[in-house]
Amino acid sequence: MLLPVHYCDRPVATILADADDVRLSYDANWLTAPDRFPISLTMPLGDAHYDAATILPWLMNLLPEGEPLRAMTRALGVSVEDVLGLIMEIGSDLAGALSIGSAEQQGSPAYRVIPDAAALERIITDLPARPFLVGEDGVSMSLAGAQDKLPVALRGDRLAIPVNGAPSTHILKPDNRRLPDSVQNEALCMVLARRIGLPTAPVTTGRAGERSYLLVTRYDREIGEYDARRIHQEDFCQALGRVPAAKYELNRTGRHGPSVADMFALLRQHMTARDITRLLDAVIFNIAIGNVDSHAKNYSILLPAEGPSLAPLYDLMSGLAWDGITQNHAQAIGGQRRGRHIYGRHWQRMAGACGLAAKATVRRVGDVTKRLLRELPAATEEVANMPAGSGFMLGTFSHAIEERIREVQLHAQQEGDDDQSGDASAAIGDSAY
């Protein structure tokens, strides 16, 4: 099997698979191009050939997980284990800048406008059985994650489906029937992050009949008036060579997933002090809002020709107000996974493991939480005024987040009692949401 890797219409690399191995090699012209960038930090530009142990984990992280992956394989008639076969089918529009698979399309890249709200509601309703509209003529796209979502493009004020390799510009995330008002929850967390100065993907909400949805502007697209340009990126699982199942620090793979310290070490190797401060603020933010699902695939790295940098935040959600959600965070802070039991000594331990100044880290917790408390009322009002409205739980989410922010702020100034153990009954390595 031969899988070409393209950026726009330009060859970047070739993946060759046979009975013995999988190998990737860069195209010679790409290696001398002025705008060249690496496929991954695990695959630096050069003449080296990369093998299956490097390539396959990176490709697996481009695919959905859980039930969306199983539904996709059923619709395509491809085995879950056939990573290359799946990528061949859905690799035209992926996270990042690359298209993988056949360069030949059935037609020119185009957009199929969704005619009305009723049609959009039908698409949303069908997503669990047909993730990413697999099997529809000309549609070939994928996103990672275990939740239903759909890459779309905004054409004027109307949503459209990209076909024949056209780039999507937005991600549509439908309401989650298991988690009431999930759209308002995620919108609130995203808006709050932006309002305190964290680079964050812009969002709004919408309605389609009885369904609501979050519409996220893709940060890995440069969107013009008439077209869109892809920008390359990878998540921290890809950058650290881990499979998706290892995205949680504690998981079922037999190998610890990326820790906060692992992520800071990667930044120190490849990025700037500004990125390190941004990551610290993001980690504090996720603890303060109770985003227990902030694992390594929910942080990403931009990989343009100028060099890597931390990507804007995305997939932010608070698990505080719903019943049945584990309160163990995906990554421990100084050995503690329970947000309400994280004290000053835990932040100091984390700082030591990450090469940060302990006292300055604790002060940063105070600074971030102060900004959060100041901006939370305005963020709540902003979401209430979005097209999908406030739902039934927006006020509940806001109140729960405020309580946790105050708790994190107070505890950062205290040493605390003996460590409280995490919830042993909570599933390890499963999506919190």
Count of beta carbons in the 10 Å neighbourhood of residue 282:
24
46 and 151, same structural domain?
yes
Structure tokens at 144: 């990672």
Q: Where are the beta strands (DSSP E) in 128-245?
A: 150-155, 158-163, 170-174, 203-208, 211-217, 221-223, 228-230, 233-235
Q: Are residues 275 and 158 in the same domain?
A: no
Which residue, of 149, 168, 187, is where some domain finishes?
168
Check whether residue 160 and residue 237 sit in a common domain. Answer: no
Q: Which residue has the tokens 């399309």?
A: 105
- Which pLDDT tens digit goes with each residue over 230-239? 999 999 999 9
Give the tens place of pLDDT for each residue, 38-64.
999 999 999 999 999 999 999 999 999
Residues 62 and 139 placed together within one structural domain of the fold: yes
Alpha-carbon span 181 to 173, nearest angstrom: 12
Among all residues, which ones are annotated catalytic?
Answer: 293
The neighbour count for residue 242, using CB atoms within 10 Å, is 26
Low-confidence ranges of the chain (pLDDT < 50): 421, 423-428
CA–CA dist 53, 227 (Å, integer): 36
Residue 223, strand partner residues: 228
Same domain, 162 and 242: no
Pick from 88, 38, 37, 26: nearest CA to 63: 88
Domain count, the chain: 2
For residue 433, is it within any domain? Answer: no
Same domain, 159 and 272: no
Quick check: is 301 in a domain? yes
Terminal CA-to-CA distance of the chain, rounded, Å?
Answer: 37
**3-state SS class at 337:** strand
CATH number at residue 340: 1.10.1070.20
Element (H, E) at 409: helix 394-411
Tell me the H-state helices in 96-247.
117-126, 182-195, 236-239
Report if residue 424 sits inside a domain: no
Is there a single domain that holds both residue 290 and residue 399?
A: yes
> Is residue 25 included in any domain, yes or no?
yes
291 and 363 share one domain: yes
- Same domain, residue pair 8 and 79: yes
Contacts of 237 (CB under 8 A, 6+ apart): 57, 61, 243, 244, 246, 247, 257, 258, 296, 297
Residues 251 and 400 in one domain: yes
Is residue 91 within 8 A of residue 99, CB to CB? The reply is yes
Residue ranges making up the domain that contains 66:
2-168
Closest CA to 275 of 237, 307, 243: 307
Q: Which of 116, 148, 168 is the last residue of a domain?
A: 168
**Which tokens go with 340?**
């309400």
pLDDT number for residue 419: 55
Let me know if residue 431 belongs to a domain.
no
Residues 276 and 139 in one domain: no
> Letter for the amino acid at 418?
D
Please report whether residue 242 resides in a domain.
Answer: yes
Of 168, 192, 213, which one is at a domain's C-terminal end? 168
Per-residue pLDDT at 426: 41
Structure token digits, residue 98: 């690359």
Q: What is the pLDDT of residue 420?
A: 55
Same domain, yes or no, for 258 and 396? yes
Take residue 314 and report the two structure tokens written for it.
């995305």
Query: How confident is the model over 192-204, as pLDDT tens digits?
Result: 999 999 999 999 9
